[in-house]
Amino acid sequence: MVGSMWRRVFSLRKAKASPVRPAPARSPVPSAAPAASTPLPLPPPAPSLEQIDENFHRLVLGLPPAGQDEASPAELAMLRRLDLLAARFDLRSLPRLPTVLPQLLRTLKSDEAAGGELAKLVGRDPLMVGEVMRATSTVVYRSAQPIGSLQQAVVLLGQDGLRRVITQHVMKPILQGNAGAMGHAAGGRLWGHAERCAHACAWLGRSAGCDSFEAYLAGIVRHAGTGAVVRLLDQLMPGETPPLSAGFVMHCAGLASRLSLQAARQWELPPRVLEALADCQAPITASASVLGRTLSVADSLASLRMLVEHNGPAADADLSNSWPGIASPSRVTRCQRDLEQHFALGSTAV
């Protein structure tokens, strides 16, 4: 009996000690090969400031895409003729500024200018009166009571509104009143740029410490001389325009910039506006005046906006890093967004 008991005990220990047989290994189920990921398309590179300037002037001047970078001998000969015509160009042929404008601008510089005094000055120019009354009838300024007098309209507009209305009244016919076959389209596009450049310059100028009206005025007149170049080119190329080089277009742009400054001097615009226009004769640097730096950035942003509205570069082209040491990327980005919102895509394209 004892022996049978020990046999049972040892048989249990052996059973416990015997290893558990592992289950037969299963062949791994082959996993599906990962699908090749389609790379997302990279956003187009932002156009350079030089490309924006060239393409904007091609748009305004009605010129086809570039044939080559450097001006050909025939183009150089044409540019010499263009320079001669420009040297003889009579700036007095541009629409005249109202004789009351210089005095009105000086009065508007004073924060203490009375509504009655401003109304008296505006009243000396019937066209200006009509523009002021028209502005106060818009939704932006419409009041509960009808406007019965010029003085009421002036008070309703306020000094900043009056400055802008007067500036637009004066400059719109100058920029739109170009003669020749190219003139109508060019004039409308120049005015479209002027509105956007003035808006951007005033927006950027607020944080840069610029006088708001001087910034707005500088933006309006930035390309005042381009209309003259349109007329001169129309004389040189009365027929179909051939493809022209980038060098030719940029020479025209430089000439237009010089004529803009000459016209602004003739109109006796404020000294800081003249200085800013002079600063923009060359690529802008940190040593330029505050208004000059602001105007240069606003000019390029407005030009890009016009190109976008005419099926040019992508609307989201990022220019934020285009002015190191001159304009912070965040300010440039915010200004681009503000322009896009203020001037809805294609709403005023000409």
Domains of the chain, each with CATH number or no CATH: 49-95+177-342 (1.10.3210)
Query: What is d(CA 55, CA 65) in angstroms, rounded to the nearest whole number?
Result: 8
Confidence of residue 179 (pLDDT cuts 50, 70, 90): very low
Indicate the helix (H) or strand (E) that contains 252: helix 246-266
Nearest to 231 by CA among 168, 277, 173, 186: 186
Confidence of residue 182 (pLDDT cuts 50, 70, 90): low
Query: Would you state the pLDDT for residue 38?
Result: 66
Q: What average pLDDT score do residues 120-145 get?
A: 76
Cβ(346)–Cβ(309) below 8 Å: yes
Q: In the chain, what percentage of residues exceed pLDDT 70? A: 73
- Among 105-119, 280-294, 321-335, the minimum mean pLDDT is found in 105-119
Query: What is d(CA 137, CA 134) in angstroms, rounded to the nearest whole number?
Result: 5
Query: Would you state the pLDDT for residue 16?
Result: 46
Query: What is d(CA 129, CA 126) in angstroms, rounded to the nearest whole number?
Result: 5
Q: What average pLDDT score do residues 35-48 get?
A: 66
Degrees to nearest 5, angle at CA 295 with 291 and 298: 140
- Among 3-7, 60-64, 104-108, 190-194, the minimum mean pLDDT is found in 3-7
- Among 7-21, 52-66, 151-165, 253-267, the minimum mean pLDDT is found in 7-21
Q: What average pLDDT score do residues 94-113 get?
A: 68
Query: In terms of pLDDT, which residue wins out, 205 or 61?
Result: 205
Most confident of 31-45, 167-181, 292-306, 314-328: 292-306
Which pLDDT tens digit goes with each residue over 236-245? 876 677 788 9
Q: What average pLDDT score do residues 3-7 get?
A: 46
Q: Show Cβ contacts of residue 274 under 8 Å, excluding neighbours closer than 6 positions.
A: 261, 264, 265
Residue with tokens 């003035």: 198
What is the pTM assigned to this prediction?
0.76
Query: In terms of pLDDT, which residue wins out, 14 or 316?
Result: 316
